[in-house]
Amino acid sequence: MNRPWAIAIHGGAGVHADRDYSRAEAFLYDLVRDGADRLKAGMTALDVVQALCEAMEDSGLFVAGRGSAPNTAGFIELDAALMEGHTRRAGSVCALKGFESPIAAARAVMERTDHVLMTAQGAERLALEAGLKTIDDPETWRTQPDGFLKRDLDTGHGTVGAVALDIQGHLAAATSTGGVYGKRAGRVGDTPLIGCGTWADDQVAVSCTGWGEAFIRTAAAHDFAARIRYGNQSLEAAGQGVLDAVASLGGDGGLIAIDRSGRIHMPFNTDGMKRAACAHDQDAIVGSVG
């Protein structure tokens, strides 16, 4: 019998109806199909969500990795986290400077230390020990033609994320971000905080995007999982409940989620969210506006 698998990715909530997102959509469509191939070939959900996040970080199309913008002090600080559901292993980094892939650094925290969240020089030393690529020329990161400053100035935020169910029945989530526009040096959003922007357990995997302060104050990703675990809510009801709570604090955004049977849900309360998904029983889909 074919085992269920599923993959969903996002490139951030908050779009403009008059913008052309065809490049980002084409990229996400190809990427989600690549993720599907990896899952069908037996790759673990954890490896797949990391690989897809790395590709999105490297694309320069989203506000993560290469597409990030400097904070108000003029330098780039990146946040990322990943979590494996059945083991509850997790790793994250915040305000990371000088490395191409914060999600790879988060994986290094998970694999190489007994810690979950690392920051500052300690995280940077660990990333070096793990052999991760440093940013050779930070200037090119600031002047990306499709970069955050030009593209998303008035959107205010963006992020990338991936959730997956593998054919072993295991779930994982990963999220990586350059943070919100106009953030102060040292500001950390929901993305690297386990249970806020990123969560996976044995029932569901969740990756959030949006105004991080509201996602922190509602413990959004864990609240989503708790609604399912303790409240027996559907994915739809859980998504609505979480986004209503975020909205009640003046926040906006969205999330992607997959449950253990491979059902996918991708709600948002912004004008749009760049997203794509594919599953054992569903062809690849992609969307951005609406």
Asked whether position 197 contacts ligand ASP by CB under 6 A, the answer is yes
Site string for ligand ASP, 165-194 (x = CB under 6 A): ------------x-xx--------xxx---
Burial annotation 125-153 (CB, 10 A radius, 16+ → b, else e): ebbeeeebeebeeeeebbebeebbeebbe
Task: Look up 159 and say whether it is catalytic.
Answer: yes
Asked whether position 210 contacts ligand ASP by CB under 6 A, the answer is yes
Nearer to ligand ASP, 36 or 196 (CB): 196
59, 92, 159, 270: which one contacts ligand ASP (CB under 6 A)?
159
Dig out the tokens for 122 from the structure. 């300690």
> Which DSSP string corresponds to 197-241?
TEEE-SSEEEEEEE-HHHHHHTTHHHHHHHHHHTT---HHHHHHH
- By CB under 6 A, the count of residues binding ligand ASP is 14
Nearer to ligand ASP, 196 or 228 (CB): 196
Active-site annotation holder among 44, 87, 159, 191? 159
Dig out the tokens for 234 from the structure. 């559907």
Nearer to ligand ASP, 6 or 256 (CB): 256
Contact window for ligand ASP (CB under 6 A) among 31-39, 44-52, 136-144, 209-217: 209-217
In eight-state DSSP terms, residue 65 is G
Closest C-alpha among 80, 58, 54 to residue 67: 58
Residues, the chain, total? 290
Least distance between ligand ASP and beta carbon 45 (Å): 21
Contact window for ligand ASP (CB under 6 A) among 1-9, 40-48, 151-159, 164-172: 151-159
Asked whether position 269 contacts ligand ASP by CB under 6 A, the answer is no
| Other Cβ atoms within 10 Å of 202 Cβ, number | 15
Contact window for ligand ASP (CB under 6 A) among 15-23, 46-54, 153-161, 223-231: 153-161
Residue of minimal Cβ distance to ligand ASP: 212
Closest C-alpha among 280, 209, 281, 222 to residue 53: 209
Least distance between ligand ASP and beta carbon 79 (Å): 6
| Other Cβ atoms within 10 Å of 233 Cβ, number | 16
Half-sphere exposure of 88 (CA within 13 A, CB side): 6
**Cα dihedral sign for 175, 177, 181, 184?**
positive
Residues binding ligand ASP (CB under 6 A): 12, 157-159, 177, 179-180, 189-191, 197, 209-210, 212
